[in-house]
Amino acid sequence: MSINRRQAIGGTAAVILAGLSNSRIALAGDSPAVAFLDKSALIYLTPLLSKGQESTCKGEVWFVHDNNEIFVVTQADAWRAEAVRRGHSRASIWIGEFGPWKKAKDNYRSAPHLTLEGRLEDKASVHEEVLAIYAKKYADEWGSWGPRFNKGLADGSRVMLRYKVSS
C-alpha cells in the first residue's frame, strides 16, 4: 500500500496537535510556539503584504527549523517566493497539520503562530546543509522528493526561502 506525504505525517501531527490549546502565540523568538516547530512536519505559510494584511496565497509546506530560522524550498514561481522578491519579506505561519489549507478553512488558526522575516537563500553550501536536515526529517519520502529539491535548486526551478523569527 502506498501513502502520500500528507497521509504519512498526518497521524503524527494529529497526535501532537491534540495537546494544543486555542491560543494564538505570536512574534517572539523565545515563544512557546518555537518548540512546536521541532515537533511538526508542516507549517501553514502566508506572505504578509505591505500593510501587514495576509496574502490570499496560503499553503501547507514542508520546512526545516534550524538555529531559530525556518527554511522552505518552493517552486521559483510560487507566490511565496515572488512575494519575497517583491519586498514582502514578512510572513505568518501556523504550526501543525490540518489538511490542505482550503479545506482546513480557518482551523489552522488555532495552531501556534509566528511572524517571520524572510529572504531568498542562494548559497549552495546552505542548500546542501538544509537539504541534509530535510532528508532526515522527511526520510520516508525523501527518496522521491530529495532529487526534485536538489535538481530544482540547481537549475533554478526551485528556491530556498530563509525566515527568521521576528520580534
pLDDT, one tens digit for every residue, the chain (167 residues): 444 444 444 443 433 333 333 333 333 445 778 888 988 999 989 889 877 778 877 778 999 999 889 999 999 999 899 999 999 899 999 898 887 877 878 888 888 899 999 999 999 999 999 999 999 999 999 999 999 999 999 999 999 999 998 75
CA distances from 23 to 87, 94, 96, 111, 139 (A): 30, 11, 13, 7, 31
Q: What residues contact residue 2 under an 8 Å CB cut-off, 6+ apart?
A: none
DSSP assigned state of 48: B
| Structure confidence at residue 98 (pLDDT) | 83
Query: 130 with 66: CB under 8 angstroms?
Result: yes
What is the grid cell recorded at 66? 534550524
Q: What is the CATH number of domain 5-165?
A: 2.30.110.10
CA dihedral 95, 41, 88, 160 (to 10 degrees): 160
β-pairing, 90-95 vs 113-121, is antiparallel
| Structure confidence at residue 21 (pLDDT) | 34
Q: What residues contact residue 91 under an 8 Å CB cut-off, 6+ apart?
A: 45, 46, 47, 48, 80, 83, 115, 116, 118, 163
